[in-house]
Amino acid sequence: MIELGVIGGTGALDLFEPLRPAAGELQTPWGAASMAPVPVSLGQSQAWFLARHGQPHRIPPHRVNYRANIGLLQSLGVRQVIAINAVGAIAPNLAAGDLVVPDQLIDHTWGRAHSFSDDADSPLQHIEFAHPFAGPTREALLAAARASGVALHEGGCYGVAQGPRLETAAEIARMAADGCTMVGMTAMPEAALAREAGLDYASLCVVANPAAGLDAEPISVAEIHRVLEQAMTRVVALLRALVMAPASKH
């Protein structure tokens, strides 16, 4: 049984070796997932890979069926999820290309199906969420980074924006005042749904750009894609180090 799930952005799939074609079923009780997960080899180990925005990349962050994605991974036997999230840097110590493992978030998303507790037939859950990313997977990721020498920032607060537009400078100034050190569009409701589903969820953020208003130049989406593509080899190196760690359960 493959217990590790990797939820990634498009482009990452090319860096993994698919072992077999996709697992087939894409439909779930919550509708269609972004894609049928693909088993990939990761060093000596294996993981299920699911591209959050579909393969090819086409689903905007506010239209991702987060419940279907998490529900499908859970039904395949996944117990631990590493989510790869592109973010803009708010804190001055973060630069394009950096990796960050956040420990907090502030959710500004709206109108997304954000809970499995959604009707009278589903069990009502009030999950504990004070530390949204805390758990053994996050600890393993940090340990793997230290052991393998892949540089990353430990901790940070992820401000989750609705998208798909980028933010205004004032929105970023407000997020900074609130303590957000980075901004992205995809950690929620994914992290909360994973917790509801009993999956241990850690986020690995890739800084793609300075957030809105923090650089003299306007944000370039082409540049974001270039930075993300370059950073992905370090992401894969880190995931390989994670599954090779002696304490790893994968």
Considering the complex, what minimum distance in angstroms separates the CB of residue 189 from ligand HPA? 16
Considering the complex, what minimum distance in angstroms separates the CB of residue 120 from ligand HPA? 35
Nearer to ligand HPA, 39 or 132 (CB): 132
For residue 67, what are the contacts with CB-CB under 8 A and spacing of at least 6? 28, 30, 31, 113, 116, 189, 193
Is 185 a binder of ligand HPA (CB under 6 A)?
yes
Number of residue whose CB is nearest ligand HPA:
88
In this structure, are strands 104-107 and 153-154 parallel, antiparallel, or unpaired?
A: unpaired
Is 96 a binder of ligand HPA (CB under 6 A)?
no
Report yes or no: 62 and 164 within 8 Å, Cβ to Cβ: yes
Selected from 208, 231, 236, 241, the binder of ligand HPA by CB under 6 A is: 208
Interface mask toward ligand HPA for 107-146; x: CB under 6 A = ----------------------------------------
Nearest to 166 by CA among 231, 212, 210: 212
- Interacting residue ranges for ligand HPA, rule: CB under 6 A: 86-88, 161, 166-167, 183-185, 208-209, 211, 219, 224
